[in-house]
Amino acid sequence: MLSYRHAFHAGNFADVLKHAVLTLTLEYLTRKEKGFTYIDSHSGAGMYQLADAYAQKTGEFKDGIAKIINEQAPEALAPYIELINQLNGHGELDIYPGSPGIAKAFLRRQDSANLFELHPSDHEFLAEFCQRWKKSHIHNSDGYKGVLGLLPPPSRRGLVLIDPPYEIKDDYQKAVKTIVKGYSKFATGTYILWYPVVKRELVEKMTNDFIKSSVKNVLQVEFCMSEDTDEYGMTGTGLFIVNPPWQLKTQLQEMLPYLKDKLGTSDSSFSLTQIIEE
């Protein structure tokens, strides 16, 4: 089943948190001269036009990136907002980068990217988007298997983003399992796992699966627009970050109240927890 298209959701509140963290992590990795490998298990199309029928149909970006693009944001959000501004020209918001678009902006000649995307159309868009990006490798195959086949990277420096659509319940466990297995091959890598808050017990199971595993140094961040509910629909967004950059926790402490203020309501909330110590 491949009905999910990220074009409907590009730039929404979940993308804001995920992509702000991705940006900070990539920026951190580029502080050292030595190259690194970026692996994106579920890449999407790479770049999105916000005027197209998909983004306009849901208008989700209007409650996400559009609310902060022209605001005086805290320093922790600056690299992310600056990137969106650079891509669009200040004051405009026509295009929005997916995770490969963000990685492309940060990766240098010494860095390489492996991008997995199963959907045939999004894979085609992605391949086209990356055409002139010499150190990118685009795969039309399963990202969970793909990640494990590439670890450890030759450079022994790497960032793995796992960002499934959660169309199938299996994704919740499969995503954690992939990181646990990946960590056993490459314990010094950084891993970012995105999840939606749709059913609280599914998130709790992921947290517990991490706690029971051999993985160390895991930070969990969550931003919920509204309270948990038994009704269908995403009320919040979260990330597990394994081996986060050392300043990320402080940067998130600065960013989260701002996001609640700008994107949320009085029902919104956030949390930041080191679920497993180093």
Report the catalytic residues: 163
Q: Roughly how many angstroms between the first and final C-alpha of the chain, as a whole number?
A: 38
Instruction: Say how many C-beta atoms besides its own lie within 10 A of residue 93's C-beta.
Output: 19
For residues 117-136, which are near ligand SAM according to CB under 6 A? 117-119, 122
Amino acid at 193: L
Interaction pattern, residues 163-192, with ligand SAM; x per rule: CB under 6 A: xxx---------------------------
Q: Which is nearer to ligand SAM, 21 or 276 (CB)?
A: 21
CA 126 vs CA 42, 45, 46, 103, 251: distances in Å = 11, 5, 5, 13, 30
190 in Cβ contact with 242 (< 8 Å): yes
Q: Which of 11, 35, 98, 244 binds ligand SAM (CB under 6 A)?
A: 98
Residue 42 is a binding residue for ligand SAM (CB under 6 A):
yes
Residue nearest to ligand SAM (CB): 98
- Which residue in the set 11, 35, 44, 64 belongs to the binding site for ligand SAM (CB under 6 A)? 44
Of the residues 128, 142, 227, 267, which one makes contact with ligand SAM according to CB under 6 A: 142
CB 275 within 8 A of CB 221: no
> Would you say 34 or 169 has its CB closer to ligand SAM?
169
Residue with tokens 């150190």: 135
Q: Does 37 bind ligand SAM (CB under 6 A)?
A: no
